[in-house]
Amino acid sequence: MQPLNALLIGAGGMGRTWAKNLVANPDVCLAGWVDIRPDAAAHAARDLQISAGYYGDSLAASLATVKPDFVVDVTIPEAHHDVTLTCLNAGIPVIGEKPMAVSMEQARAMVAAADRTGVRYMVSQSRRYDARLWAYRNLIQQVGEIGILDADFYIGAHFGGFRDEMANVLLLDMAIHTFDAARYLLGDSTPVSVYCEEFNPRWSWYKGAAGATAIFEMANGARFTYRGCWAAEGQHTSWESEWRAVGSQGSAKWDGHAAITADVVVEQGGFHSKCHHLTATAASDIAHGIAGSLKDFVNSYHTGATPMGDCRDNIKSLAMVFGAIESAKTGRRVAL
């Protein structure tokens, strides 16, 4: 089977990461690389000591010249809408970086374009491709019907640059990973509503709100609670958050690292039910991060299977972000 020709759009930091990812995949050929900054893609390729075959600064010209099998959109979020619609309308499948769009209106238009054209559009929600997350999801199934899912995210992240000036910095730039993981852990459940408060600790080095607390109602009746702060010095959680799931037959925890455990009820009665302690081990042969995203997308291209991150599903995770921001702004519970 011939490798698929990929056109990479965007030569920033993540663009370079994706270039290495594409070159490392034997089922893909990096056939072209484009950035609106003249020569940026060619310079990046030279720095990485790789070849893309075609370089340019025009999306339209690159599509006409390269005739790619698919496009990888690693542009800034504000450009995702236009890039994706251009490619879908040209009949070219797209795998794009998160977030899907900078507004729900744009996101809905992108999903509508995928529906209208019948062309695949997938968002690379790369943190779903984590063997530990998959092992935790499997373990959760041992504790019965889940009624409560909690996630804590506390990291003192001194990025510098644009994030220090962003409004809603935690919710916009990071929380979608945790929100999307929560949906995955709950069986890709649909969010129903959210109440959220944003805040910025007095010592925060961020201009916008670096902290947030949110509670989501999910379609199955479960409550997902999120607590996070990007100005939390010391005692950091994992970037994948710390998790607790409470079910009808026990509870399961994941520390975001290697500790994945559960206590499952084996005998009720007395003050505390008798429980059996379980541990889970993550598989070692799962493609991780954006390598997993690309593998899933390529499989979808060849088989027609729906990948994780399909736009019709990922828009539900994006709705959690914008719903939380709206709730924090209005001080009200928001229907999603």
Which CATH number covers residue 202?
A: 3.30.360.10
| Residue 141, domain member (yes or no) | yes
Final residue in a domain of this structure, among 64, 89, 119: 119
| Residue 291, domain member (yes or no) | no
Q: Total domain count for the chain?
A: 2
Q: Are residues 229 and 327 in the same domain?
A: yes
Q: End-to-end alpha-carbon separation of the chain, Å? A: 43
| Residue 292, domain member (yes or no) | no
| Residue 82, domain member (yes or no) | yes
What residues form DSSP beta bridges with 295?
none
Q: What is the reported pLDDT for 270?
A: 85
Q: Are residues 282 and 139 in the same domain?
A: yes
What gap in Å lies between CA 67 and CA 58, rounded to an integer? 13
What gap in Å lies between CA 96 and CA 214, rounded to an integer? 27
Q: Are residues 324 and 182 in the same domain?
A: yes
Q: Are residues 239 and 112 in the same domain?
A: no
The model's pLDDT over 128-140, given as tens digits with 9 standing for 90+, comes to 999 999 999 999 9
Pairing between β-strand 223-229 and β-strand 146-154 as defined by DSSP bridges: parallel
| Residue 158, domain member (yes or no) | yes
| Residue 298, domain member (yes or no) | no
Which CATH number goes with the domain that contains 38? 3.40.50.720
Domain that holds residue 49: 4-119
Q: Are residues 87 and 136 in the same domain?
A: no
| Residue 313, domain member (yes or no) | no
Q: Are residues 138 and 77 in the same domain?
A: no
Give the predicted TM-score (pTM) of the model: 0.94
pLDDT tens digit at each of 336 positions of the chain: 899 999 999 999 999 999 999 999 999 999 999 999 999 999 999 999 999 989 999 999 999 999 999 999 999 999 999 999 999 999 999 999 999 999 999 999 999 999 999 999 999 999 999 999 999 999 999 999 999 999 999 999 999 988 899 899 999 889 999 999 999 999 988 999 999 999 999 999 999 999 999 999 999 899 999 999 999 999 999 999 999 999 999 999 999 999 999 999 999 888 999 999 999 999 888 889 999 999 999 999 999 999 999 999 999 999 999 999 999 999 999 999
Q: Are residues 101 and 167 in the same domain?
A: no
Q: Are residues 236 and 185 in the same domain?
A: yes
| Residue 125, domain member (yes or no) | no
Q: Are residues 142 and 202 in the same domain?
A: yes
Secondary structure of the chain in the HEC alphabet?
A: CCCEEEEEECCCHHHHHHHHHHHHCCCEEEEEEECCCCCHHHHHHHHHCCCCCCEECCHHHHHHHHCCCEEEECCCHHHHHHHHHHHHHCCCCEEEECCCCCCHHHHHHHHHHHHHHCCCEEEECHHHCCHHHHHHHHHHHHHCCEEEEEEEEECECCCCHHHHHCCCHHHHHCHHHHHHHHHHHCCCCCEEEEEEEEECCCCCCCCCCCEEEEEEEECCCCEEEEEEECECCCCCCCCCCEEEEEECCEEEEECCCCCEEEEEEEECCCCCCEEEEEECCCCCCCCCHHHHHHHHHHHHHHHCCCCCCEHHHHHHHHHHHHHHHHHHHHCCCEEC
Final residue in a domain of this structure, among 75, 96, 119: 119
Place of tokens 């949906």: 183
Q: Are residues 57 and 104 in the same domain?
A: yes
Final residue in a domain of this structure, among 84, 119, 154: 119
Q: Are residues 78 and 152 in the same domain?
A: no
Q: Are residues 115 and 156 in the same domain?
A: no
